[in-house]
């Protein structure tokens, strides 16, 4: 599993021109599920994401987590995180999990994320989405 995490002021997600979710200050998670992934790594990712100290404290130091600030989290599936761009001009996606497997793991991940008590919004798995965000910082981190 790979998660590209962005610290945000706000996020909105649309499908076919219709809003499906939005969130305020917190995180946008772009979640890639690999062909070799299973549900066993989910607790690690939930703990890392919710406790990663990437928000500033009163002294301006990254010392607070999304939990500490009571922030929101927007979760979006993103199979292209597993793109292989080493050869040719078209990315290959053989490293990404097939959609049926990825959906199962993604749904379990989101369910456990919702169990943290934070406000969780999400995109639509497999849909073509328009995601608007204000990246706060900018601050973007890859978690693997």
57 within some domain: yes
CATH number for 123? 3.50.80.10
SS3 105: helix
| Inside any domain, residue 11 | yes
Asked if residue 99 belongs to a domain, the reply is: yes
**Phi and psi at residue 99, to the nearest 5°:** -50, -40
**Domain of residue 21, residue span:** 2-136
**Alpha-carbon separation of residue 59 from 49, 64, 88 (angstroms):** 22, 11, 48
Structural domain includes residue 38? yes
Dist CA 94 CA 77 (whole Å): 16
Residue 84 falls inside a structural domain? yes
Residue pair 75/113 in contact by the 8 Å Cβ criterion: yes
- Is 142 a domain residue? no
Q: Is residue 49 part of a domain?
A: yes
Q: What is the pLDDT along the chain (144 residues), one digit of tens a residue?
A: 999 999 999 999 999 999 999 999 999 999 999 999 999 999 999 999 999 999 999 999 999 999 999 999 999 999 999 999 999 999 999 999 999 999 999 999 999 999 999 999 999 999 999 999 999 999 999 999
**Catalytic sites, residue numbers:** 80
* pTM listed for this prediction: 0.94
pLDDT of residue 24: 96
Residue 144 lies in a domain: no
> Which of 7, 105, 101 has the alpha carbon at shortest distance from 49?
7
What pLDDT, on the 0 to 100 scale, is given for residue 11? 98
Cβ count near 88 (within 10 Å): 8
Tell me how many domains the chain contains.
Answer: 1
């Amino acid at each position: 599993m790979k998660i590209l995490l962005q610290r945000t002021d706000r996020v909105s997600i649309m499908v076919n021109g219709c809003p499906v979710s939005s969130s305020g200050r917190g995180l946008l998670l772009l979640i890639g599920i690999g062909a070799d992934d299973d549900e066993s790594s989910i607790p690690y990712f939930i703990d890392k994401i919710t406790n990663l100290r990437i928000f500033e404290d009163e002294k301006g130091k990254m010392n607070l987590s999304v939990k500490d600030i009571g922030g929101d989290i927007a979760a979006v599936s993103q199979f292209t995180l597993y793109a292989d761009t080493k050869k040719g001009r078209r990315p290959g996606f053989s490293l990404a999990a097939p959609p049926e497997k990825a959906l199962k793991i993604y749904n379990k991940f989101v369910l456990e994320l919702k169990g943290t008590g934070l406000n969780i919004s999400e995109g639509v798995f497999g849909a073509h989405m328009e995601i608007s965000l204000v990246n706060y910082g900018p601050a973007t981190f890859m978690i693997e």
